[in-house]
Amino acid sequence: MQIGFIGLGGMGSAMALNLAKAGQDVRAWNRSKVAQESVPGVTLVRLAADAFEADAVFTMLSGGS
């Protein structure tokens, strides 16, 4: 199963990393640049639309005001 992930902040990066460690194919997008070393096993994509092509998509976004 291919999993898309939007939002790689503190919680999102940990969740995406755990999914990758569990053997899932994870492709992720974040609005600011993320170092590949911080999420080994996760494919970082250039456009959010690329993450939305996955079978399932998780979002971990702030609710900012």
Residue by residue, what is the 3-state secondary structure of 2-58?
EEEEECCCHHHHHHHHHHHHCCCEEEEECCCCCCHHHCCCEEECCCHHHHCCCCEEE
Does any domain span residue 23?
A: yes
Does any domain span residue 65?
A: no
- Domain around 31: 2-59
Does any domain span residue 64?
A: no
CA distance linking residue 54 with residue 48, whole number of Å: 11
Give the whole-number percent of the chain exceeding pLDDT 90. 92
pLDDT at 25 over 60: yes
CA distance linking residue 21 with residue 64, whole number of Å: 30
- 5 forms bridges with which residues in the sheet? 28, 58
Give the per-residue pLDDT at 15: 97
Question: Tokens for 47?
Answer: 């456009």
Does any domain span residue 25?
A: yes
pLDDT at 65 over 60: no
Q: Find the CATH number of the domain harbouring 10.
A: 3.40.50.720
Give the per-residue pLDDT at 63: 78
Does any domain span residue 24?
A: yes
